[in-house]
Structure 1
């Protein structure tokens, strides 16, 4: 059967409706396969449903004729309600999903059963006794007439009591069948106007002003040097290729200096403590290093090509066999140093690719980057006057490297290594006497039992007030971190003999280490991105316990933590509970947690209502045990930021974020719209 043969019920379809029909048909064929029929197994696989009982219940709702198969017509009728139905029609579908025996009401057993299946479908682990308790409080709140059963009107009233939830449910209903995103977004499609583009540029300027200014100044300086080199060559009668080659050579001098400057970690950490981070983007120095590196490679290529084109004799096929060429290339200082520089730069650039570092070839990246120590002296030999350019930054760089070498040779010791939920490893080490850090700062870590040469940056999650202990939380996202997690899971007898030996460098500053200067800091961590804020929160807790709570300059600290996995809240659950329970911090810290990994399912609304009702009755969250209720959705940043701005009218508000880049883009735009400062962690 083809969708064009199906009678569209109730109203004549317009262009949008026909588009929906064809999209729904495409989804049906994707699930059904060649036989144009969907059985319960195909529906479960097609909708990515984990729970077979839940899948069977959804199947029975769609299979109107009870034939044991879903036809295209039945699929379209069901999908049309999700896409274009009224709120009441959509609620009726949800209610029917709860009404297991089809008698028009939902009793306690049916409600509890569906809640249990919904929790299972969303991979939320709740003990059976808690599920029963959840069912009891929800049933009591909906069964307002005390009849012992819930009719549709009572069910509808319970959803109507949560307007934001109802609006979200209606807006996302088309995703329940994993329908094409075009359907879900069709009603809210927006054109990309010039105004929208201008607004995006304005927000980028407001959020990234120091970074954009630095890039602009750098670009202007490189262009000026390039032009100066060309003008100088033109003045002595050189041809155009030589002018271009020498213009590139002038610009390379500045790139060489900037490559060194961007690696002065200790200097930037010191500058941060003097507040320089507000005018110089010290948080973006790794990004700046990459930009300058790519620019240096490009300019070097232009320089080489310019001189190759200059030598017309290259047209001669016998050019590379003549002894004079080998003499010029390998016996003259400019020749051999230039060839060696080009080779080194090519190796460094090739092995610095993100794909190389992530593919298990970190040691190749590490070793080729060590060639930088040969690259700089060769650049001094090859480029006249370059030594004067790098004298000052080079001296500072050498002092920093000497300091790093001395510190890096002194090993510390791992006291405990523990595997945590969601592939996280907790490291507790003896804190070296020399390691004096501020909350939010990070260290470089090397563990020979995992890899002899690799250094990796991790934020310290312990408080600076813990003098004998240094704690890190490491998420398994690459080869090195996976090996560390495997080490933690082994019995101690099965570990390498020197597994406790660890080397540390740092500390180094990060955006979150500036939080003490903000009257209203908003800390947003996504997943393991919580680590920069753990040290800050622990410090606030320990100092408040000892009679030194935050000063009056801090109006309120907001801590927002997003996780896709329920178990991840265990990393710092005890810390959050202690912060909530400490009287000295009442009204000073606002903790909010979101569980964002839930799929859009037919029972999501009733599960959310159940969690809210349980929290109201018990005073504690079902999943975390905190006073703060876990939100089973994605945050509405407009609502959150509007509330914070209204509460702190006129006060400067700064958002600090650590997590995936996609969310950073959203937060950056929202912060610019609300006039908030925005800082993102960059490693």
Structure 2
């Protein structure tokens, strides 16, 4: 039998029903306004920092250092957001999420990381260069060996010091141990009226710094620390450590390290918590990062307390094609929905590594619902997982779960026409989606499932779904199976031959001609929403063809 010619007619739901859907224009352009807004904030912040002018010590290196510092505040404010899984999941379930580029959240996070390390390098290098231009030893400035107030009076605040005598008075006051009576008699008027022009919580000066007030004795005394007690030492040293940590996070997040040494990538990334703590020491004004830090704290609570399920009983069984099936007793309180995924840790393999897997839907059992994962064993961690079977047909183990979290497929139930494109194991989120609609009596749906699969035996995964959908007339279903490796006899599975003529089934060899396939689908559906889960090359081909036709595209990325 020539499998290229196997074709059955699709069944159709009666009537002229057309489901609601995301618009293609909205899908194509949703990320651009946010990119423009972010770019405008970045440029505006750089300009505000760059135009600073205090005195003759304000040179180009200082301006570049300040400009990039203010720009970094914008990057830091949004760097954490794309990887806050609970926040992203909540947005995916809301209307607001339809206007955000959530499908590319991890890509956005990576590019923000590249931008951060570049700006941080410019910021640090220019500040170090600026220190060499000042009339003081470089190491004295770097390690804060002069009291902060004196250093500022001789450099950045010099323009506002009307008489050098006040610098001498301040130096004698600090040397005398900062007596309050001396401050009131000789220094208080100057500190309040001159320094307070900018360093006041109510100042309206152009270069006002209301977050660093110097208007009374207590505030002035707080700026007299030196060496390890000085703010200059704190800012400089925390900045150097932040750059080293940021560089380590960046290097181990690069594609080469992330894929080859995933366990190191996860361990190094935990330094991000230390990074956040050091920001509190380095940044004088925290207004930009208050909200992200609160969000990060909430994310940590939900991940480590509220949505963490330990010691779940799981059963591991082998499947065809180097794939294993992990069935986990659903933890009490875990609510599963179509298009969700979980993070999995197996303490017997590693107590540090977490991995993300799509859910194929919940299955009823005698003891209750179970969570089912299908895992292709292609790396170190999955190889060790497969090795635990050691020739057995089933192996019981304990696992920890986090989640569940919403993936792009969670948006599918908001629409009614879908094109579901999967490569190999990437079919798993779509299996959960189809099971979900089977539990919705009377809900009109239409979908086209395009699945490229190497092992014909894996088609057994969809067999119960195909057979059950044969009995439904409110769901229009079209199945496109592409076998990249044909069996020796050239014949499809027996059960596929039996159901031909019920749901629409197309079984072909090789890879799809995407333009031709899109034209076939367009005859059946005017503007479906396309969901893709598979390798990057597959996603690129599908996105190009779908966008040419004006179809919205959602990508599943892990």
- TM category (shorter chain) comes to 0.7 to 0.9
CA contact (8 A) 1:565 1:595 kept: yes
Alpha-carbon distance, 1:363 to partner: 3.1
- The aligned counterpart of 1:20 is none
Match of 1:362 among 256, 259, 262: 262
Alpha-carbon distance, 1:673 to partner: 1.6
CA contact (8 A) 1:428 1:471 kept: yes
Where 1:588 maps in the other structure, the secondary structure is strand
Alpha-carbon distance, 1:410 to partner: 3.7
Is the aligned partner of 1:294 residue 2:114? yes
Compare relative contact order (CA 8 Å, sep 6+) and give the higher one, 1 or 2.
2
- The aligned counterpart of 2:521 is 644
Question: How do 1:494-573 residues align onto structure 2 when only pairs under 5 Å count?
Answer: 500-541=397-438, 543=439, 548-552=440-444, 554=445, 556-570=446-460, 572-573=461-462
Would the alpha carbon gap of residues 576 and 324 (structure 1) be closer, same or farther in structure 2, given more than 3 Å must change?
closer
Question: How do 1:239-258 residues align onto structure 2 when only pairs under 5 Å count?
Answer: 239-258=59-78
Alpha-carbon distance, 1:578 to partner: 2.5
Deviations 1:98-119 (A, max 9, x none): xxxxxxxxxxxxxxxxxxxxxx
Distance 1:639 1:425 in 2: 34
- The aligned counterpart of 1:278 is 98
Where 1:500 maps in the other structure, the secondary structure is strand
Distance 2:497 2:125 in 1: 74
- The aligned counterpart of 1:477 is 378
- The aligned counterpart of 1:151 is none
Alpha-carbon distance, 1:549 to partner: 2.7
Where 2:104 maps in the other structure, the secondary structure is helix
Would the alpha carbon gap of residues 401 and 473 (structure 1) be closer, same or farther in structure 2, given more than 3 Å must change?
same
CA contact (8 A) 1:407 1:504 kept: no
Where 2:373 maps in the other structure, the secondary structure is strand
Is the aligned partner of 1:655 residue 2:530? yes
Alpha-carbon distance, 1:519 to partner: 2.0
- The aligned counterpart of 1:152 is none
Alpha-carbon distance, 1:344 to partner: 1.3
Distance 1:620 1:352 in 2: 47
Would the alpha carbon gap of residues 295 and 560 (structure 1) be closer, same or farther in structure 2, given more than 3 Å must change?
same
User: When the two structures are superposed, what TM-score results if normalisation uses the length of structure 2?
Assistant: 0.73
- The aligned counterpart of 1:55 is none
CA contact (8 A) 1:411 1:502 kept: yes
Match of 1:672 among 540, 543, 547: 547
Where 2:389 maps in the other structure, the secondary structure is helix
Deviations 1:145-171 (A, max 9, x none): xxxxxxxxxxxxxx9x97x9xxxxxxx
Q: Which moved more, 1:252-261 or 1:406-415?
A: 406-415
- The aligned counterpart of 1:227 is 47
- The aligned counterpart of 1:588 is 476
Would the alpha carbon gap of residues 574 and 335 (structure 1) be closer, same or farther in structure 2, given more than 3 Å must change?
same
Alpha-carbon distance, 1:310 to partner: 2.0
Would the alpha carbon gap of residues 378 and 565 (structure 1) be closer, same or farther in structure 2, given more than 3 Å must change?
same
Alpha-carbon distance, 1:427 to partner: 0.3
Deviations 1:407-453 (A, max 9, x none): 46541423310121111111001101221121111011111112111
Would the alpha carbon gap of residues 330 and 458 (structure 1) be closer, same or farther in structure 2, given more than 3 Å must change?
farther
CA contact (8 A) 1:233 1:242 kept: no
Greater helix proportion: 1
- The aligned counterpart of 1:306 is 126
Would the alpha carbon gap of residues 549 and 382 (structure 1) be closer, same or farther in structure 2, given more than 3 Å must change?
same
Deviations 1:166-193 (A, max 9, x none): xxxxxxxxxxxxxxxxxxxxxxxxxxxx
Would the alpha carbon gap of residues 557 and 226 (structure 1) be closer, same or farther in structure 2, given more than 3 Å must change?
same
Match of 2:304 among 392, 405, 430: 405
- The aligned counterpart of 1:266 is 86
Distance 1:344 1:549 in 2: 54
Would the alpha carbon gap of residues 270 and 327 (structure 1) be closer, same or farther in structure 2, given more than 3 Å must change?
closer
Alpha-carbon distance, 1:562 to partner: 0.9
Question: How do 1:132-531 residues align onto structure 2 when only pairs under 5 Å count?
Answer: 208-233=28-53, 238-312=58-132, 326=143, 331=228, 332-359=233-260, 361-386=261-286, 388-407=287-306, 410-463=309-362, 468-491=369-392, 500-531=397-428
CA contact (8 A) 2:478 2:503 kept: no
Alpha-carbon distance, 1:645 to partner: 2.1
Distance 2:279 2:72 in 1: 10
Structure 2: runs of 5 or more not aligned: 8-23, 146-225
Distance 2:358 2:239 in 1: 41
Distance 1:308 1:326 in 2: 12
Distance 2:451 2:112 in 1: 34
Greater strand proportion: 2
CA contact (8 A) 1:414 1:429 kept: yes
CA contact (8 A) 2:323 2:374 kept: yes
CA contact (8 A) 2:448 2:478 kept: yes
CA contact (8 A) 2:339 2:406 kept: yes
Distance 1:324 1:389 in 2: 27
Alpha-carbon distance, 1:474 to partner: 1.0
User: When the two structures are superposed, what TM-score results if normalisation uses the length of structure 1?
Assistant: 0.60
Where 2:51 maps in the other structure, the secondary structure is helix
Match of 2:467 among 564, 578, 587: 578
Distance 2:60 2:40 in 1: 22
Would the alpha carbon gap of residues 485 and 240 (structure 1) be closer, same or farther in structure 2, given more than 3 Å must change?
same
Where 2:42 maps in the other structure, the secondary structure is helix
Deviations 1:62-85 (A, max 9, x none): xxxxxxxxxxxxxxxxxxxxxxxx
Alpha-carbon distance, 1:302 to partner: 0.4
Q: Which moved more, 1:325-334 or 1:388-397?
A: 325-334
CA contact (8 A) 2:142 2:236 kept: no
Deviations 1:96-141 (A, max 9, x none): xxxxxxxxxxxxxxxxxxxxxxxxxxxxxxxxxxxxxx6xxx9xxx
Alpha-carbon distance, 1:517 to partner: 1.6
Distance 1:245 1:666 in 2: 43
Question: How do 1:1-150 residues align onto structure 2 when only pairs under 5 Å count?
Answer: none
Alpha-carbon distance, 1:399 to partner: 1.7
Would the alpha carbon gap of residues 618 and 566 (structure 1) be closer, same or farther in structure 2, given more than 3 Å must change?
closer
Distance 1:395 1:660 in 2: 35
Would the alpha carbon gap of residues 527 and 492 (structure 1) be closer, same or farther in structure 2, given more than 3 Å must change?
closer
Alpha-carbon distance, 1:682 to partner: 1.4
